[in-house]
Structure 1
Amino acid sequence: MRMTLLKALGTSALISLGATTAMATECIAPADAGGGWDFTCRQIGKLLYDLKLVPNPVQVTNMAGAGGGLAYANVVNERNTDADLIVAASSATTTRLAQNAYGGATADQVRWVGTIGGDPGVIVVAKDSPFQTLSDLVEAIKADPSKVTFAGGSAAGGFDHLKPLMIMKAAGFTDARSVKYIGLNGGAEAITQTIGGFTQAMTGDISEITGFIRSGDVRALAILTPERVAGFEDIPTAKEQGYDVVVVNWRGLYVPKGISDDAFNAWATKLQAVADSAEWKAVMEANGLAPFTLVGADFQGWIDGVVADTTVLSREIGVIQ
C-alpha cells in the first residue's frame, strides 16, 4: 500500500516538475533546498560541468517527501532507464532501505554509482570520563550493559544508534538490545548530555562536535574511518584498536537500475574525476568532509554489505521484524 502511494506521489511530482532539458543531466535532491542531499547535488553538479564532464549545466530538482522515499519511488517507477539522471544519497538512504522505511522498496532497485566524501562517525566521552580507550568502553558494556548509556542525534534504530552496535558486534557482543541508547534532537543536544554526565558516551559525526573536541570538553575514543583524519590525527580509528568498523555518513549518488552498463560505468568514471579534482578537495575542506571514495562496482558491493549489516542489526534491536 505504501509503495502504491509513493508511486502515485512520484508520478504527480514528475508531472508538476515538467520535462527536463533534452540531454541535460538532472540531479534529484530528495529533500528541500539547504540540506545534505541538496548540497551533494549542487556541489557535484557544479563540478561535473566546471570540469567539462557533462556538456550542459546540471539541473537540480528538489523532491522532498517520505525521507527520500518519494524520489526513490519516482526513479524506480517512472525514470528507470533515464541515463541522464543522477540522485543524491547518503547513509540515511541505505539505513531507511534496510529498515523498510520506503514501503517495500529495496536497495537493488537502483544502481549505486559512488561516494566521494563523508562525515566520519565518532565515539566520544566527557573529558573526565574513566574510559581512556575504546576497549575500556567496550569491556565496560560487556561487563554490565546497564552501566553505559550512549546519547545520539538520531532516533532509536537510526544511524547514530547503529554505530556503537556495530562496534559491539565487532567485539563479539551479541545482545544488541541491552546496549542503552537515548535518541535526542541532534548532535548538539546529545553531546551536552554527555558533557553533563547524564550519559557515559556520545555517538555522532565529527562535524557535530569539532568545537567540543578542540575546546577539550570531550575526548574522542575512536573515529570510524579507514584511516586517521587530517586535522584530527590524534584520534585513533576503531580499526587500529581491533574493531573492524567503518561508519561514515557518506555523500554520493545512485542512478536508475535500467541504464546500460556503459552508462553506469561512465557515471562512475565522472564521479571519480570529481573526487580527484583540486576543486572537490577544496569543497570538502570548506565543509568538514573527510575523503571517502568508492565508485562503481566497489561501491555497489560495499552498499550491499552495509544494507545487509544494517538489516541484521535493526532486527536485533526490534526496529524491524
Structure 2
Amino acid sequence: MKSLLCTLAVGAAISAASLSLPSTAFAEPANPECIAPAQPGGGFDITCKLAQATLAGSGAVSAPVRVSYMPGGIGAVAYNAIVGQRRAEPGTIVAFSAGSLLNLAQRKFGEYTEADVRWVAVVGADYGAVVVQQEGKYSTLEELVTAIKADPTSVIIGAGGTIGSQDWMKAAMLARVAGIDYKTMRFVAFEGGGDCATALQGGHVHVCMNDVGDSQAAIDGGAPLKLLAVLSENRLPGKLSDIPTAAEEGYDIRWSIARGFYVGPDVSDADYQWWVDAFRTTMEWPGYQDALAERNLYLMPMVGEETEAFVAEQVEFYKALATEFGLATQ
C-alpha cells in the first residue's frame, strides 16, 4: 500500500506545560473582535467562536469578543485588509488554519508573506475528513475511490478553495495513493467548508473534502451527512471513534489542521503580549478541553514565539508539498 504522510511538523510533542509561564498584565483592548475570514459555518467560524467562548469563560477577557466575517480567497481578503489597512488594531485577532499557511506557501495572498503579520497562538487541532450524504450511494471510502477510478468525471468533488487549497490537496493526495490522475478529477470550488456542506446536502456535489470540526458540527446540527473517513493517524476519540481512518480503508493519507490567530504587523509588543497571555490563560483553564471537544477539536497549545516558529516551519513544509503537485510557490 502506498503511503502519503501530511501531518503537522510539531504539535504532538507540545504539552500544556509549555504554556505555564509567568503572565504580564497589559491593558485589555476595549472592543475585542475576532475576524473569521470566510462565510459562517466553516472552520474559521468555529475557531473564532471557540475564542469567544473560552476567553470569556476563563476570565481572560472582561468585554465580549465580537465575531465578524470577511470572506474571500480562503483568508486572502482578510489577510490583505489587516496588512494593508488595519495594521495596528490592538483588539483585532484573525483566525487562521493550516489552509491559510498552505496558501501563503503558494503566494496566494498576493505580495504578502507569513512574515507580514504577528502570529499569536495555535488553539487547537482539527483533521481532514471525507464527507458524503447520509443516505447517498457511498458507504465506504473504497466505494468512493472505485467510482472515481471507473470514471473520474462522474464524481463531483467539492472543496473549500480552488486548485492548491488544502481541501483540493486532500483530494489530490487521495487520488495519488489510489493510482488516479488527480488532474482528471471533477472539482467544484467553494468559499469554505460550510458552503460545500450545503451544496452536498442539495446534491450539487457528491463528496466534500472537508474538516472534522465543521463537518461534525453540521451533522450535530441535523445535516443529513456522514463522515466516510478521517485523515488522522489514529481513530479519533469519543463520538467519532466509529469513523475509520483513511489508512484503515487502504489509503494512507493524513491531514492535520492547526487552528489559531494572528494580529496586524504594527500591533505593539505590549498589545501582542496581552493576547499571548490571554490565550495562555485560556488554554490552561480547566474547561478548555471540554470546549474543544464540543467543537470536535483537539488540544495543541502554542503561544507567542513558539507559534511564530511553528508557522515558519509549516510554510516551508507546504512549499515542498505544493512543489510535489506542480503548484507554484514563487
Displacement of 1:233 = 0.2
Displacement of 1:94 = 3.0
Residue equivalent to 1:271: 279
Residue equivalent to 2:241: 233
Residue equivalent to 2:27: 23
1:283 maps onto 2:291 in alignment: yes
1:313 corresponds, among 299, 305, 322, to: 322
Q: Is the 8 A contact 1:31 1:64 kept in 2?
A: yes
Would the alpha carbon gap of residues 165 and 24 (structure 1) be closer, same or farther in structure 2, given more than 3 Å must change?
same
Displacement of 1:193 = 4.0
Root mean square deviation, CA, Å:
4.8
Displacement of 1:90 = 3.2
Please give the alpha-carbon distance, in whole angstroms, between the structure 1 residues aligned to 2:131 and 2:65. 40
Residue type matched to 1:205 in 2? D
Residue type matched to 2:261 in 1? L
Q: Deviations over 1:147-177 (max 9, x none)?
A: 77352243432442221223445x3969542
Residue equivalent to 1:103: 110
Residue equivalent to 2:200: 190
Matched residue SS, 2:229: strand
Please give the alpha-carbon distance, in whole angstroms, between the structure 1 residues aligned to 2:247 and 2:63. 41
Residue equivalent to 1:51: 58
The TM-score with structure 1 as length reference comes to 0.63
5+ long unaligned stretches in structure 2: 1-25
* TM alignment of 1:169-208, pairs within 5 A: 171=177, 175-183=181-189, 185-190=195-200, 193=203, 199=206, 201-206=207-212, 207-208=214-215
Q: Percent identity?
A: 20
Would the alpha carbon gap of residues 168 and 113 (structure 1) be closer, same or farther in structure 2, given more than 3 Å must change?
farther
Displacement of 1:261 = 8.4
| Residues 80-89 or 98-107, more deviating | 80-89
Displacement of 1:231 = 0.5
Would the alpha carbon gap of residues 61 and 86 (structure 1) be closer, same or farther in structure 2, given more than 3 Å must change?
same
* TM alignment of 1:209-228, pairs within 5 A: 220-227=227-234, 228=236
Q: Deviations over 1:89-109 (max 9, x none)?
A: 234533443443432111222
Q: Is the 8 A contact 1:212 1:218 kept in 2?
A: yes
Q: Is the 8 A contact 2:117 2:264 kept in 1?
A: yes
Would the alpha carbon gap of residues 218 and 112 (structure 1) be closer, same or farther in structure 2, given more than 3 Å must change?
same
Q: Deviations over 1:251-272 (max 9, x none)?
A: 3211345679898677555424
Q: Is the 8 A contact 1:153 1:190 kept in 2?
A: no
Larger Rg: 1
Please give the alpha-carbon distance, in whole angstroms, between the structure 1 residues aligned to 2:46 and 2:208. 26
Please give the alpha-carbon distance, in whole angstroms, between the structure 2 residues aligned to 1:202 and 1:290. 19
Please give the alpha-carbon distance, in whole angstroms, between the structure 1 residues aligned to 2:316 and 2:291. 31
Displacement of 1:238 = 3.6
The TM-score with structure 2 as length reference comes to 0.62
Q: Is the 8 A contact 1:176 1:317 kept in 2?
A: no
Displacement of 1:281 = 3.6
Q: Which has the higher contact order (CA 8 A, sep 6+)?
A: 2
How many matched pairs?
290
